Structure 1
Amino acid sequence: MDDYQRLVVAQFFESLPNLSPELCHQFVLRHIVPALLPKTTSKVDVQPSAFQGSMSYTAILHIHSTHGGHRIVVQFRTEKQDLSGVTEASCIHGSIVPLVTYQGMYEELFVYTSPFAEGTPYISVLTSSDDFELPLWKKMAIVMDLADLVTRGARANNVPPDTAIVELTTTLDKTQHAVNDYAFQNISVRTSISACVSYVLSQLHNIVTLPLTLTHQDLSPFNYLIDLSTGNVKAVLDWDGALYLPVGSNFHFLDSLFGFMTLKGWQDADDRHELEAAFYDRALDSLAAQGYKGITKEKLELQKAIGMLLYGVERLLKSKDEHSEHYLDGYLRGLSFMKEPISSSY
């Protein structure tokens, strides 16, 4: 682990004074190994994962054998996971979604195991590159794979359009009220959010028939692993809480491929236009191949705006910091209908 990852681990155990990485490793050797490998004679050891999350501690169980051995991921989490999304995602996407198994509790932590997934988190690839930049061809490979991922397994949306419009209107009105009551450090962000909400409300009739896809609720650069040599996505982790939602609902996460955050705010990548166009072309082709024709980039972008507003405003209300305002500002400026005079209809 690098210094940053060690800091993340230290912060995780700060609120758990009776636990430590070493005690978790002992638990793995004394309880997980006998449960998963009751007859093994192979040498085993436990090491911390090189990549850690803020809400968990992850260890890697190494099983050494004459055939080369293998690895198992053991994760200690503060909150229990809903594994139904993981199981459903594995059925849809196959081996790029490692199946997760609940192994009980250790002290106050929930313990899970999963097969070791090859690849490097995209965030680590970015931070180890110059100026957070990768070659266009490598980013294009990631974009194509994620476009397939977020559109695969589409199913018909059977919610009556009138019902969907009423529900979405209520949801967006609540979001607008929350924004009105929030003390922004940058008032222009509130103005942009209000303009976005108003426009989306006027266009709901265009998107209420979009098909549903199993929607990853945190498709951040931490949760997809790529092949360093090709850029292809090798695994997508953390499907906890995945829901069937209208396609486009989590497209805002893909903005991490089109730009990055700086101390002064969001910065679009020089190749954003090319990457974003390729993403939407691939997504539309994927949906058409599944029988959903007539969907447009504009409709997908409207649904993206809804997902972005719900995610971004909730994050802002929790964190109450300028950093979250910067992200919202970047998301909003990335929407094509926010860059130009808003027309009355698509």
Structure 2
Amino acid sequence: MFWSSDDQKTGSYAASSDIHPYDEEIEAFFTRNGFDGATRDACDEYARVRFPGSAAKPAATQGYCSYTLNISDEYLLQFRPEAFKLDTDTCMEVKSIYGKFAPTTRYLGEVGGVALQQVPDANVRSSAMMHVYLHQRIRGIPLSEFRKRNKSCRPDEDKMFKRRLMSGLAKVFALGFRARQASQEMKRILPAGTMAKGTIGKSMRWRLNLLSGLPDKDLLTHVSEAQAQLDIVEASSWCLTHGDLLPGNMMVDAKTGHLTGLIDWAEVEWLPFGMALYGVEEVLGEDMPSAAGGFEYYDDHEELRQLFWDEFLASVRRDGEEIQLREAEAARKLGILLWRGIAFDDGKMDRVVESGRDDSEIHKLRLFLEAPSVVVCSNKKCHWSESLISLWACVRRVFWHGGRGCCFGSESDETDLRARKDTFINRSKLGAA
């Protein structure tokens, strides 16, 4: 299942439907990209010929950049114009890094006999070419759908589902981190690699300058900090990064809530590690009717965020690897600014969010920027580990040394404690015998 980030704006969960409720949206896709009225028929005919007996039907939810058909319970057939063509090499790279959490995509070729009509909008890149892809489904349902189905579940079940999701996301981020590559600056002194900057990677400085038009001083302070740290971020490790990490693109098991995979990798590219961490914030709350700005964190969002970092850091450190936390935090802030500070206008992303027009986005932008940092969460993990070590050391001193130098026990307890120690040793010897 590969949709572009634009597709996510109209949904990403495909399910078969006998009568498609969005025929107008489908026709708008073909018209917007400059195809004449016969192009959809040509795509449908391609599906019938290539997959006879499949009874191909339009997916119940269509995207901005593609036309998608259900051809079986396992596969989707997707048609994309030249402007939104997928890089199949990148698709394979995604699969090799993220394994079961990423779909398998196969390029089938082009639709023949496609005609292009005159397009009045000069901004639309038109080409008389329609590319075809076969996507293997990732099992499960989108997190957004899962939430709707479980609105009335018990509090303990809800907590369990959320913890499972955070654990799954930690695994996904750990996979990406393990496959990181050196920055462009490091590659000047290292052998040539395969990483190349994509659309966002090439334009981070331009986009940050665009964000200088944000409406309030507090937001502009974050922009200034990001501009000051951009060189550090660009010099950090880069990972193959999902382009639109939102609840609609996270697939979970319908019964257990375990993360089964991510869809919508069409905008994937190499970016500094941490730029997709806005996705963690996205699932720590949801739009609430009672919330002033729409989005509201769950009551246990701090606990869930900490769980994510505890599991992520434990995973990468088990591999003997370390992460530069301050660089990751700078990249996290940059990712939040770029994904929530720039407005989406029917496919165009050339203006910053505005007060009175994008208030819900500004509200979310502020919440995410003010969330506990990577460094804070990591320190909590370290302090908790140190506390456990200290506690165990105290217990050992109480048991073996009468509590000297410890908050437990005192010198007066030493005789009794030694007796307990001798009893323990004697019993251990008897058990061994």
| AA in 2 matched with 1:13 | E
1:91-135 deviation line (CA, Å, top 9, x unaligned): 112233222112223335321102232111122223444399981
- SS of aligned partner of 2:265: coil
Question: Which residue in 2 is equivalent to 1:195?
Answer: 221
User: RMSD of the alignment, in Å?
Assistant: 3.7
User: What's the CA shift for 1:251?
Assistant: 0.9
Question: Which residue in 2 is equivalent to 1:277?
Answer: 306
Query: Conserved in 1, the CA contact under 8 Å of 2:20 and 2:60?
Result: no
CA distance in structure 1 between the aligned counterparts of 2:98 and 2:314, rounded to whole angstroms: 17
Question: Which residue in 1 is equivalent to 2:210?
Answer: 178
Query: Conserved in 1, the CA contact under 8 Å of 2:240 and 2:269?
Result: yes
Question: Which residue in 1 is equivalent to 2:337?
Answer: 309
Question: Residue 123 and residue 208 in structure 1: after superposition, are their counterparts in 2 closer, same or farther (change >3 A)?
Answer: same
User: What's the CA shift for 1:250?
Assistant: 0.8
CA distance in structure 1 between the aligned counterparts of 2:22 and 2:150, rounded to whole angstroms: 21
Within 5 Å, which residues of 2 pair with 1:1-346?
6=20, 8=22, 10-16=24-30, 18-19=37-38, 24-30=43-49, 32-33=50-51, 43-62=53-72, 71-78=74-81, 79-106=84-111, 107=114, 108-130=129-151, 135-152=158-175, 153-160=178-185, 174-181=206-213, 187-188=215-216, 191-202=217-228, 210-262=236-288, 264-265=292-293, 266-293=295-322, 295-296=324-325, 299-315=327-343, 317-318=349-350, 324-336=358-370
| AA in 1 matched with 2:364 | G
Question: Residue 72 and residue 13 in structure 1: after superposition, are their counterparts in 2 closer, same or farther (change >3 A)?
Answer: same
Query: Conserved in 2, the CA contact under 8 Å of 1:157 and 1:246?
Result: no
TM-score (ref. length: structure 2)? 0.61
| AA in 2 matched with 1:73 | L
- SS of aligned partner of 1:75: strand
Query: Conserved in 2, the CA contact under 8 Å of 1:9 and 1:57?
Result: no
Q: Between Structure 1 and Structure 2, whose CA radius of gyration is higher?
A: 2
CA distance in structure 2 between the aligned counterparts of 1:226 and 1:48, rounded to whole angstroms: 23
- SS of aligned partner of 1:330: helix
- SS of aligned partner of 1:267: strand
Question: Residue 221 and residue 7 in structure 1: after superposition, are their counterparts in 2 closer, same or farther (change >3 A)?
Answer: farther
Q: Unaligned stretches of 5+ in structure 1?
A: 35-42, 63-69, 340-346
TM-score (ref. length: structure 1)? 0.74
Q: Unaligned stretches of 5+ in structure 2?
A: 1-14, 31-35, 115-128, 189-199, 374-433
Identity level (%)? 21
User: What's the CA shift for 1:143?
Assistant: 1.5
Report which stretch shifted further, 70-79 or 205-214: 205-214
1:131-164 deviation line (CA, Å, top 9, x unaligned): 9998121122112112211231333524448x9x
Query: Conserved in 2, the CA contact under 8 Å of 1:9 and 1:54?
Result: no
| AA in 2 matched with 1:14 | A
- SS of aligned partner of 1:135: helix
Question: Residue 268 and residue 60 in structure 1: after superposition, are their counterparts in 2 closer, same or farther (change >3 A)?
Answer: same
Question: Residue 60 and residue 303 in structure 1: after superposition, are their counterparts in 2 closer, same or farther (change >3 A)?
Answer: same
CA distance in structure 2 between the aligned counterparts of 1:236 and 1:19, rounded to whole angstroms: 33
- SS of aligned partner of 1:77: strand
| AA in 1 matched with 2:329 | E
User: What's the CA shift for 1:84?
Assistant: 2.3
CA distance in structure 2 between the aligned counterparts of 1:179 and 1:209, rounded to whole angstroms: 21
CA distance in structure 1 between the aligned counterparts of 2:232 and 2:110, rounded to whole angstroms: 47
Query: Conserved in 1, the CA contact under 8 Å of 2:74 and 2:136?
Result: yes
CA distance in structure 2 between the aligned counterparts of 1:228 and 1:220, rounded to whole angstroms: 17
Query: Conserved in 1, the CA contact under 8 Å of 2:233 and 2:331?
Result: yes
Query: Conserved in 2, the CA contact under 8 Å of 1:8 and 1:53?
Result: no
Question: Residue 44 and residue 243 in structure 1: after superposition, are their counterparts in 2 closer, same or farther (change >3 A)?
Answer: closer
Query: Conserved in 2, the CA contact under 8 Å of 1:142 and 1:232?
Result: yes
